Structure 1
């Protein structure tokens, strides 16, 4: 099994000539990531064995390494690595740019190195190889104390986004001691092959496939034009609650909701009526997601007021108090800080005795406090460390008001690009990434990983306290795109 290294990182190969360094680098890294002193000697001189070009070659090597590391690119330095000041300089360069640094120690027996060298078309002079072997004996004892993040023996490795570095042991824990996790499909784009006329059919196919794949819920964004984080303002984008009503007719099991409803877009009483209707027509499968609303340009484009944050928080808290009254018995009056309703009545009432409410956002002082007081779940973004922290904050808010922390679920919204294996994943990345975007950055942005990577990542989120993951699939164009993540979901069933 390959060891996962974080992307980007600096990898320095250390060992005598003929120890296998170049072969190992070529097997585990793309050619463009490997900076080789031999290849640069060929570029600066008459060939890889042109010793007279060594000074120029190493000058080029240092320049290229500095440029790549400065750009945050994974860089494999393929040279002897026996010059201690130069080697430690590369380590310091990685530290300056915040990149992990790994030394790979090639402790190949001297006899094997000499035998390999004799088999080469162009041999290292015997006296030079002897000096390198002697230098290696002196250097190998230094590596452990130099401050590398890892000192490795040559072994299979993969460079993966940070989210997957610890995925392998986590996936092992899931196999040995399975835990449950709910999955929601998050729909954020509606641009399909076949154009607008094909939208309804593609959406129905996706919804049907999502249920068959094992998704527990389907969520849509509550926007009226595409957001800049996902696409262009003029991309096709469906109105959320009309879409959810259509999905109610296309599905039988999945819960349905907006993640999350912008509180500024609708009168709160009207919103309560909309969600109650969705619950009735879906057979009791509606989820109410609520959030502060943030997209000022959208408000401006549609002529809506965009109140200050303070006023939006007041409106959000009023909605969290009023909606359960609207969905409950009778018709009590409600008088809040931003909303007053003389008769909180809604008929027909939702089919669910308690319609679940999710508050979206990770604000620690106000948003998570509101979730702790009024909601059934809080939805947060971010990596594993952020999620662990938000879980702690949410539990603390619950404790402060005397509410059982286990009664407020933590959910997580993120992106996942899933490949069955590394080869398929690489093909997906090359097909989907923007032309000018570095593949490694795109992989990190969309959490590109294999099925096993994602099983491990979601297991870590479950261990951090997450009860449901809402997943955006950047390659979601139809039913065929869901099969790979179906294998991930199956690991949690």
Structure 2
């Protein structure tokens, strides 16, 4: 039996096993949200005259089996709070978890017999002494059976949490970061401009966010380059600022952070003009611009603005030309440039950027995009967990041309909801999740975790090859506390 606390992946099935008065219900109530716990005692009270109405036991267990089956079938974390001494029932729950593709663990309550009897004597309504003796005898046999039944883990009661998959290994990663710290850059992505003050105070809000981000230790601020809100984030009619104008404003509001787009769709602007915009920002910001570019994907946005939305092949041809043209625009001279689809008679761009080179970041994690990044970009921005980042890093290294000394850097973008402690994380999930969305699914979507969880996740991303992580904070509004909380994560990498 393991004694130390563990992080379990969400969803999972947790089977409590042990005699009466061993502490199962107390531990479950202290460890899990009540919505996750299916209790035979509570169901007995539901179908009978109370939790001690033994005549209702058969009906209560029939109901429990139905509830457990329904929850596991919906892939919901389910904590089964019964004696757990019936082998056939345990194996049935385990089989249901396997069928649903959900991990299943058993938690064994090996409470000494005398302690169980002492607790029972203190109860208002005691378990009959002979019944408890029978349970204690059964438990002695069951605890020998559990290791052979096929659970993913058999745990002892203790500090245990069910967390999104991204945080399952966070505890060990936090220890590695404390013992052998590694550096990591952090960027803040702004993908929404809706705030309580409304558009009359949007400029002031952006200024406050920029300064607070610097104070929290962020290394960069990045904005989405769209002209209307994207459906993954909000509604089309929500206030949404033009990206490069916003970056220019942030340049005047901040002193240190790098400023860039994540990322500029290559179809949105004449590419030579985009080069001029980025160079201007670099000069006005004192050499802090990052030019992020990508294939462009939002067809409805193109239609709304009357732009052509070329085929994937045509957009890739344009993107490859752009990746070659932009550094020419930022270099000396005024020579003509011609690519597969672009023809620029004069590449004059003065003043030239202060940075040489001005960083060129390519967004996207498909093989074709990564191959372009390996050839032309300074950084590739990707999504996914640590395993995905490791795969992308290997792919970049394998496809980096022989004449290039090192592969492009790998940056990572994720939505990140941070609470200082687990209970605060639960509260934030409940506050911000859509009304009809299961809390666990929302928590996974926004990578909801404590400061410690996030330190572990980012350490794993750094070990996988990420040099910078950009985070979008879904709870960033007029209250800038989320930036302060993020600063506690950033401090662990300084």
SS in 2 for 1:204: helix
SS in 2 for 1:128: helix
Q: Residues 369-420 of structure 1, C-alpha deviation per residue, up to 9 Å, x if partnerless? A: 000000111000111221111111111111x545334x41000000111111
Q: How does 1:296-307 map to 2 (within 5 A)?
A: 296-307=299-310
Structure 1 range deviating more: 29-38 or 46-55 = 46-55
Structure 1 range deviating more: 458-467 or 34-43 = 34-43
Q: What does residue 13 of structure 2 align with?
A: 10
Q: What does residue 392 of structure 1 align with?
A: 394
Q: How does 1:436-447 map to 2 (within 5 A)?
A: 436-447=436-447
Q: What does residue 128 of structure 2 align with?
A: 125
Q: What does residue 79 of structure 1 align with?
A: 82
Q: What does residue 371 of structure 2 align with?
A: 369
C-alpha distance in 2 between matches for 1:410 and 1:475: 26
Does 1:51 pair with 2:79? Answer: no
Does 1:142 pair with 2:165? Answer: no
Does 1:218 pair with 2:237? Answer: no
Does 1:430 pair with 2:406? Answer: no
SS in 2 for 1:221: strand
C-alpha distance in 2 between matches for 1:49 and 1:244: 65
C-alpha distance in 1 between matches for 2:51 and 2:195: 51
C-alpha deviation, 1:175, in angstroms = 1.1
Q: What does residue 167 of structure 2 align with?
A: 164
Tell me if structure 2 keeps the 8 A contact 1:258–1:287.
yes
Which of 309, 324, 343 in structure 1 is aligned with 2:327? Answer: 324
Q: What is the root-mean-square deviation in Å for CA atoms of aligned residues?
A: 1.3
Tell me if structure 2 keeps the 8 A contact 1:373–1:401.
no
Which ranges in structure 2 are unaligned for 5 or more consecutive residues? none
Does 1:295 pair with 2:293? Answer: no
Structure 1 range deviating more: 24-33 or 114-123 = 114-123
Tell me if structure 1 keeps the 8 A contact 2:418–2:482.
no
Q: Residues 98-151 of structure 1, C-alpha deviation per residue, up to 9 Å, x if partnerless? A: 211110011112222222222222222222222212221211112112221110
Q: How many corresponding residue pairs?
A: 490
C-alpha deviation, 1:481, in angstroms = 2.8
Q: What does residue 409 of structure 1 align with?
A: 409
C-alpha distance in 2 between matches for 1:332 and 1:70: 65
Q: How does 1:17-416 map to 2 (within 5 A)?
A: 17-364=20-367, 366-398=368-400, 401-405=402-406, 407-416=407-416
C-alpha distance in 2 between matches for 1:115 and 1:230: 55
C-alpha distance in 1 between matches for 2:58 and 2:322: 71
Q: Residues 244-291 of structure 1, C-alpha deviation per residue, up to 9 Å, x if partnerless? A: 111111111111111111000011111111111111111111111110
Does 1:480 pair with 2:488? Answer: no
C-alpha distance in 2 between matches for 1:329 and 1:281: 19
Q: Residues 52-103 of structure 1, C-alpha deviation per residue, up to 9 Å, x if partnerless? A: 2222111100110111112222111011111111101101111111211110
Which ranges in structure 1 are unaligned for 5 or more consecutive residues? none
Q: What's the TM-score once normalised by structure 2's chain length?
A: 0.97
Q: What does residue 420 of structure 1 align with?
A: 420
